[in-house]
Amino acid sequence: MTGRLARRAAGAAGLGLLASAFIYLALAVGGLHAPYWQLWLSCTALLVLFALLGARGDPAEPLRPVSLAEPETQQRPYRQMERWEWRLATTHGDPAWYARVVHPRLVTLVGQRLWQRHGVSLSRDPARAREVLGADLADFLAAPPATATPSPAELSRLTTRIEEI
């Protein structure tokens, strides 16, 4: 225990002695009886607890705002990009994986972006969505390729188009 905490605890113990005497006398006037040592122990324990918890509230350094993000994400802000890069790299030569994992997420991403920027729903208004997206991107999103995954050049071109939306 540091000297500061010891002084707080000693002060609380002394205050506990006075508080227990006051409570003992108040009970006696009311015609009730309680053993003094129990009153002293209870008061002192509570006051020492409050003193120690109060000392804990005096931080040596200012508090930093709490973030709900993972610590690793705070240190590596582009972690999600690495995840997408990994997903796309693992799809090379595996159309089933691409169709099951990547393509639905791209459709969701484009659908959200289309709704936020243009107020057009990809599923409810496919004609208007096709007009905004362009035939190339609309065809790409309509169905995942069955036999091959898109090439990096094709994905780059489509990603650029998605960013323009």
Which of 129, 136, 135 shows the shortest CA–CA distance to 155?
136
Give the CA-trace dihedral at 50, 53, 57, 58, to 10 degrees. Answer: 90
Tell me the domain boundaries of the chain: 3-56, 80-164
pLDDT exceeds cutoff 80 at 145: no
pTM over 0.75: no
What are the b/e assignments for 78-116, b being 16+ CB within 10 Å?
eeeeeeeeeebeebeeebeebbeebbeebbeebbeebee
What are the helix (H) ranges across 30-101?
A: 36-56, 71-75, 79-91, 95-97
Q: pLDDT tens across 30-45, in order?
A: 888 888 888 888 888 8
